């Protein structure tokens, strides 16, 4: 499954003030790979938006320089592949830029006719490279410089992916799983977290009596989406309660985790939400256990300091 969502990069043909973002992204991408940028997207010639790169190849008797022309096509918003009609007059453009290599930098895949057209270009002695969405992603996630770029251009999808990469933090004396109320699987397990939810069980009568301006939560449970949840939901429906759920995989995104916690606090402070003791205790359990995936590991020194303070959390 792809990690980076190219829809996060603004569409090229809409005058949003951000329509050059894909080209700027390309510039940063090729800089990271070690190319020198001779002409950036802001100095595009002939109305085109091609980048011109210089690659220095070390050899025994000195460096060889290869000039590349990069053609950027950001079609992720239409979801269409890059076709041969998107790439007109490639060899003329290469000649105009005095380039001996062509790079297609695309946020979707290329069509087979374009693939054949590029093969023909190779036969004529040009070098050809294609970076489609998948290849761009692989390059970015491979090293720390690439990850910095991904973080800048794909803030949402990258941070989400990143939070799954880390092992749970060593917050507590030992790892605390968050169990599905029905099947007891650990919902924080990377393999199933995309299907994990937190469910708030609300007293319908209480809402009615308060003109739906207040909610009373009689319980909170954690479960897998689908069968586990429907069994549990059914049980509460019979008790005149309704349920509201949220994806745990969203809540573990650090920014979201903070704003989610703030929202919970604000609603309690404003008297909009009332919790039974049981529901409130589950809420605290949730916040603590999920934090293992949100906060970073503590260092050796911090662990030592915690020992000195004798304050290793014991409030689970
Ligand atoms: Zn389950």
pLDDT digits (tens, 9 = 90+) for 42-83: 544 444 567 999 999 888 888 899 999 999 999 999 999 999
CA of 228 to the centre of ligand 1 (A): 5
CA of 249 to the centre of ligand 1 (A): 15
pLDDT digits (tens, 9 = 90+) for 220-230: 999 999 999 99
State phi, psi for 13 to the nearest 5 degrees. Answer: -95, 15
CA of 224 to the centre of ligand 1 (A): 4
Each domain of the chain, given as residue ranges in start order, spans 6-162, 193-309
Considering the domain 6-162, what is its CATH architecture? 3-Layer(aba) Sandwich (3.40)
Mean pLDDT per 10-residue interval, the chain, length 316 residues: 91 72 94 91 55 91 91 94 93 91 96 95 94 95 92 90 76 91 94 93 95 96 96 95 94 89 96 96 96 80 70 50
Q: Are strands 241-247 and 101-106 parallel, antiparallel or unpaired?
A: unpaired
CA of 279 to the centre of ligand 1 (A): 19
What integer pLDDT is reported at residue 310 of this predicted model?
58
Indicate the SS3 state at residue 218. Answer: strand
What integer pLDDT is reported at residue 314 of this predicted model?
52
CA of 197 to the centre of ligand 1 (A): 10
CA of 67 to the centre of ligand 1 (A): 56
Q: How many Cβ atoms sit within 10 Å of the Cβ of residue 164?
A: 13
Task: Using alpha carbons, select from 114, 54, 49 the residue that is nearest to residue 84.
Answer: 114
CA of 166 to the centre of ligand 1 (A): 23
What integer pLDDT is reported at residue 43 of this predicted model?
46
CA 27/CA 22 separation, integer angstroms = 9
Q: Which residues surround the ion ligand 1 when the cut-off is CB under 5 Å?
A: 180, 182-183, 224, 228
Rounded to two decimals, the pTM is: 0.62
What sections of the chain are H helices per DSSP?
21-32, 90-96, 112-123, 133-142, 144-153, 155-165, 204-209, 227-237, 248-251, 254-269, 277-294, 300-309
CA of 281 to the centre of ligand 1 (A): 20
């Amino acid at each position: 499954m792809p990690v980076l969502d190219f829809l996060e990069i603004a569409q090229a043909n809409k005058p949003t003030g951000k329509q050059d973002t894909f080209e700027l992204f390309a510039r940063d991408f090729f800089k990271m790979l070690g190319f020198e940028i001779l002409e950036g997207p802001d100095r595009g010639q002939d109305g085109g938006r091609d980048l011109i790169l210089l690659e220095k190849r070390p050899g025994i008797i000195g460096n060889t320089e290869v000039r590349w022309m990069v053609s950027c096509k950001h079609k992720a918003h239409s979801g269409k592949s890059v076709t041969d009609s998107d790439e007109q007059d490639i060899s003329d453009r290469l000649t105009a830029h005095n380039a001996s290599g062509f790079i297609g930098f695309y946020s979707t895949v290329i069509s087979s006719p374009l693939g054949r057209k590029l093969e023909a270009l190779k036969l004529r002695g040009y070098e050809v490279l294609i970076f489609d969405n998948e290849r761009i992603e692989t390059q970015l996630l491979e090293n720390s410089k690439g990850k910095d770029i991904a973080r800048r251009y794909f803030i949402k999808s990258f941070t989400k992916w990143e939070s799954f990469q880390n092992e749970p933090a060593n917050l507590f004396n030992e790892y605390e799983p968050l169990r599905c109320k029905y099947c007891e699987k650990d919902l924080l397990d990377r393999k199933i977290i995309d299907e994990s939810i937190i469910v708030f069980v609300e007293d319908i009568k209480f809402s009615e009596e308060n003109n739906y301006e207040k909610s009373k939560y009689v319980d909170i449970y954690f479960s897998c989406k689908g069968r586990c949840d429907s069994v549990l939901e059914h049980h509460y429906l019979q008790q005149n309660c309704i349920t509201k759920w949220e994806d745990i995989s969203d809540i573990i995104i650090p920014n979201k985790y903070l704003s989610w916690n703030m929202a919970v606090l604000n609603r309690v402070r404003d008297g909009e939400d009332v919790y039974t003791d049981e529901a409130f205790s589950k809420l605290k359990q949730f916040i603590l256990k999920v934090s293992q995936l949100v906060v970073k590991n503590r260092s050796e020194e911090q662990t030592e300091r915690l020992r000195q303070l004798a304050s290793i959390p014991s409030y689970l």
